[in-house]
């Protein structure tokens, strides 16, 4: 019997954190319908780092927003933690409580200190002030901005603001972290540093991560698996396993095997 079949029997089979089953999305616009995502099937395992890679406009954000429950599929199903996100047009908000989201723009409130920005989701969930601030301090340490708790967002660099946004998304300890081009606005050097930091945070917190990028090296550096999408309507072109041991270091970019995967993905994207 195969290892997978054995582990299914004893209950240690990897659990799907997220599954798309023929999930599709069509937008109705004044110029007529736009098929953003063709019927798509794939699953993300618990604790996995999955990266959605594809050209601009291919439906990456749409796919992530469908996973986050922000867009309802117009066909098929989206499952989170084994639960169907939608029944009719009603969303299962309990499934959503298990997800945190980070966007390209950190979206911090400029009039709130960093610790109050980070702790805001906890405040909305009714957590007391002292506990909230302890948690915010702990998160500042985790993401590498300890000492900046009582600063305003404008006093931090772009990379530090994005760390704060990651801390805020982790504040209520969601099992799943969804990230839409989180480092797209950063310079190349800061971006490399943030990739290393994100890997460290992921190794420490054991979250399931789905990250969207259109940077091929970023995808290969971060991912356990790269899900390559074709141009619109988005469909999965290929899923590539990335075998490198962790923690990965910046000099992995010079590795011949790394470059082979990057070249392969680039040629698939061009054709």
Take residue 105 and report the two structure tokens written for it: 């723009």
Q: Note whether 29 binds ligand ADP by CB under 6 A.
A: yes
Q: Note whether 162 binds Mg ion by CB under 5 A.
A: no
- Asked if 115 and 168 count as a contact pair (C-beta separation under 8 A), the reply is no
Distance of CA 102 to the CA centre of its chain: 7
CB of 86 to ligand ADP, least distance (A): 17
Spatial neighbors of 140 by CB under 8 A, at least 6 apart, are: 114, 115, 118, 146, 147, 148, 149, 164, 167
Of 243, 246, 238, nearest to 258 (Cα)?
Answer: 243
Q: Note whether 199 binds ligand ADP by CB under 6 A.
A: no
CB of 184 to Mg ion, least distance (A): 9
Helix (H) or strand (E) holding 134: helix 129-143
- Asked if 178 and 64 count as a contact pair (C-beta separation under 8 A), the reply is yes
DSSP states along 32-94? EEEEEEEEEEEEEETT-EEEEE--TTSSHHHHHHHHTTSS--SEEEEEETTEESEETTEE-HH
Mask of contacts with ligand ADP, 30-49, x by CB under 6 A?
A: ----x-x-------------
Q: Which stretch binds ligand ADP (CB under 6 A): 29-37, 86-94, 108-116, 217-225?
A: 29-37
CB of 104 to Mg ion, least distance (A): 8
Q: Which stretch binds ligand ADP (CB under 6 A): 54-62, 84-92, 203-211, 247-255?
A: 54-62
**Interaction with ligand ADP in 157-176: which residues (CB under 6 A)?**
none
Give the number of other CB atoms < 10 A from CB of residue 35.
16
Q: Note whether 213 binds Mg ion by CB under 5 A.
A: no
Q: How many residues bind ligand ADP (CB under 6 A)?
A: 13
CB of 259 to Mg ion, least distance (A): 26
- Asked if 60 and 66 count as a contact pair (C-beta separation under 8 A), the reply is no
Give the number of other CB atoms < 10 A from CB of residue 161.
22
Q: Note whether 235 binds ligand ADP by CB under 6 A.
A: no
Mask of contacts with Mg ion, 53-82, x by CB under 5 A?
A: --------x---------------------
Instruction: Please choose which of Mg ion, ligand ADP, none residue 232 contacts, taking the beta carbon within 5 to 8 angstroms, the exact cut-off set by kind.
Output: ligand ADP
CB of 100 to ligand ADP, least distance (A): 19
Q: Which stretch binds ligand ADP (CB under 6 A): 50-58, 159-167, 182-190, 240-248?
A: 50-58
CB of 58 to Mg ion, least distance (A): 9
Q: Which residues bind ligand ADP (CB under 6 A)?
A: 27, 29, 34, 36, 54, 56-62, 232
């Amino acid at each position: 019997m195969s290892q997978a079949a054995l582990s299914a029997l004893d209950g240690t089979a990897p659990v799907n954190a997220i599954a798309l089953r023929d999930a599709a999305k069509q937008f109705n616009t004044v110029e007529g319908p736009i098929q953003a995502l063709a019927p798509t099937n794939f699953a993300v395992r618990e604790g996995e780092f999955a990266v959605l890679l594809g050209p601009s406009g291919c439906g990456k954000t749409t796919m992530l927003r469908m996973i986050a429950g922000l867009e309802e599929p117009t066909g098929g199903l989206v499952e989170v933690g084994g639960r169907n996100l939608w029944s009719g047009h009603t969303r299962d908000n309990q499934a959503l409580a298990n997800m945190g989201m980070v966007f390209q723009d950190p979206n911090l409130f400029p009039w709130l200190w960093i610790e109050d920005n980070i702790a805001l989701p906890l405040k909305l969930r009714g957590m007391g002030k002292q506990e909230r601030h302890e948690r915010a301090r702990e998160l500042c340490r985790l993401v590498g901005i300890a000492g900046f708790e009582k600063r305003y967002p404008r006093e931090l660099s772009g990379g530090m603001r994005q760390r704060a946004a990651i801390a805020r998304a982790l504040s209520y300890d969601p099992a799943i972290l969804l990230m839409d081009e989180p480092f797209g606005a950063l310079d190349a050097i800061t971006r490399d540093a943030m990739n290393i930091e994100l890997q460290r945070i992921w190794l420490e917190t054991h979250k399931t991560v789905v990250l969207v990028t259109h940077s091929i090296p970023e995808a290969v550096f971060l991912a356990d698996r790269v899900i390559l999408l074709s141009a619109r309507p988005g469909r999965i072109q290929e899923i590539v396993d990335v075998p490198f041991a962790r923690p990965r270091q910046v000099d992995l970019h010079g590795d011949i095997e790394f470059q082979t995967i990057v070249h392969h993905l680039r040629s698939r994207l061009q054709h």
